[in-house]
Homo-oligomer: A and B are copies of this chain.
């Protein structure tokens, strides 16, 4: 390995690339990533959180990966190019392979919707992965839903998680959490890379969370314009009306779709408890911003609010404190630890320092919880953990 690393370093000097690898070789305990397609040995992850790729491209001049500070890729005798990343945070990371200038998915990985496209991602196994592991416990169902939205005159597409036993006791009704993805993602995110279903199955099995329904719609993609189809619905569901104008965080179309179409659809078609005390909303990043804007405008609709890496609620955002206190049973705000103290948080409309805002809300007599995900950034591991912390606090009375 020493020899190989020196060769890589030499190649990186030759190619003019800055390669930030330390002078010690990566730990040689590589294992196939859990995000690989069945039977694929690569990508592999080592105990340092590095990810090694192997791409068969015998006639290529150059191969690389979109993770910054990765090693140069070198071609082995089989025509396969191999390279690896810097140590990455635990959790889930989107990436792209570059073959002679072509940005393509890794043929070895599973595909996920994020960064505005279906493409590759890799899972760096987390020490706390147990809370979203598939276990021998009763499982809920993730249901794919098509419905016609009258206000936007479109066929829309959503996912609904129903808890275990939903089909057993058909007299029972459940609260609902409306749970939103981030910008460049869609309604598949929480059920797929977010592991919302497994997180809930495990919490419910341990008696830590009350069973509730989770409803997941497409909140629009401000970076990609309005119209888009989903992977799961290539036959024509557009969900276009929810998309804001390009690059514009205006959530009015989604607010309308959620309030006028989706909530009434869910209440009419699932066994919900269709009132404000039994309705929550949460979201990550852009979905957190949407949650903040929509819940503040509709205190008569939502009693529990979760904002994950998407700003916070300051006391000054609340126009009628008496009403807010009466209506809102929980304000939960979370961030990855690596997000805190950056320009991202506290600036650009994210609503000020989230920790200070959470403390001020508590001071004002509101049930306010702040959660910091250790050693994670603006990525899914922060949001899986946020759901895991948020869910047990919902619908407690």
Interface of A is mostly: loop
- Say yes or no for A344: interface residue by CB 8 A criterion: no
The 5 closest A-B pairs by CB, nearest first: A38-B228, A57-B102, A59-B101, A58-B101, A59-B100
Q: Give min CB distance, A83 to chain B, whole Å.
A: 14
Q: Can you name 14 extra interface pairs (CB under 8 A) apart from A55-B102, A146-B197?
A: A37-B118, A37-B229, A37-B231, A39-B227, A57-B99, A58-B100, A107-B117, A111-B111, A134-B146, A142-B143, A142-B144, A144-B144, A167-B270, A198-B235
Assembled-state Cα–Cα distance A34/B106 (Å): 23
Assembled-state Cα–Cα distance A305/B228 (Å): 39
The copy count of this chain in the complex is 2
Contact A148/B167 with A57-B100, A79-B101, A102-B56 known, Cβ cut-off 8 Å: no
A235 contacts B134, C-beta separation under 8 Å: yes
Assembled-state Cα–Cα distance A235/B227 (Å): 31
Q: Give min CB distance, A172 to chain B, whole Å.
A: 11
Which residue of B61, B191, B198, B225 contacts A100 across the interface (Cβ within 8 Å)?
B61
Task: Name 29 A/B residue pairs within 8 A (Cβ), A-sorted.
Answer: A34-B235, A37-B117, A37-B118, A38-B229, A38-B230, A56-B102, A56-B103, A57-B99, A59-B62, A60-B101, A61-B61, A79-B101, A99-B102, A99-B104, A100-B100, A105-B105, A107-B117, A110-B118, A110-B231, A110-B234, A133-B235, A134-B233, A139-B145, A141-B144, A141-B145, A143-B143, A144-B197, A146-B197, A167-B270
Interface string of A69-103 (1 = CB under 8 A from B): 00000000001000000000000000001011111
A101 contacts B224, C-beta separation under 8 Å: no
Which residues of chain B come closer than 8 Å to A110, judged between CB atoms? 118, 231, 234
Interface string of A329-341 (1 = CB under 8 A from B): 0000000000000
A99 contacts B60, C-beta separation under 8 Å: yes
Which residue on B lies nearest to A159, using beta carbons?
A: B144
B107 contacts A107, C-beta separation under 8 Å: no
- Say yes or no for A236: interface residue by CB 8 A criterion: yes
Which residues of chain B come closer than 8 Å to A118, judged between CB atoms? 37, 110-111
Q: Give min CB distance, A82 to chain B, whole Å.
A: 13
Interface string of A112-150 (1 = CB under 8 A from B): 000001110001000000001110100101111111100
Which residues of chain B come closer than 8 Å to A100, judged between CB atoms? 57-61, 99-100
B136 contacts A39, C-beta separation under 8 Å: no
Which residues of chain B come closer than 8 Å to A101, judged between CB atoms? 56-60, 79
Which residues of chain B come closer than 8 Å to A174, judged between CB atoms? none
Q: Give min CB distance, A284 to chain B, whole Å.
A: 19
Contact A224/B39 with A99-B99, A123-B234, A141-B143 known, Cβ cut-off 8 Å: yes
Please provide the chain A residues from 143 to 170 with a CB less than 8 Å away from any CB of chain B in the complex: 143-148, 155, 160, 167-168, 170
Assembled-state Cα–Cα distance A99/B106 (Å): 13
Please provide the chain A residues from 170 to 195 with a CB less than 8 Å away from any CB of chain B in the complex: 170, 191-192, 195
- Say yes or no for A232: interface residue by CB 8 A criterion: yes
- Say yes or no for A269: interface residue by CB 8 A criterion: yes
| Most B Cβ at <10 Å: residue of A35, A139, A170 | A139
Which residues of chain B come closer than 8 Å to A325, judged between CB atoms? none
- Say yes or no for A271: interface residue by CB 8 A criterion: yes
Which residues of chain B come closer than 8 Å to A146, judged between CB atoms? 134, 139, 197, 201
Assembled-state Cα–Cα distance A100/B80 (Å): 12
- Say yes or no for A237: interface residue by CB 8 A criterion: yes
Q: Give min CB distance, A292 to chain B, whole Å.
A: 26
Q: Give min CB distance, A137 to chain B, whole Å.
A: 9
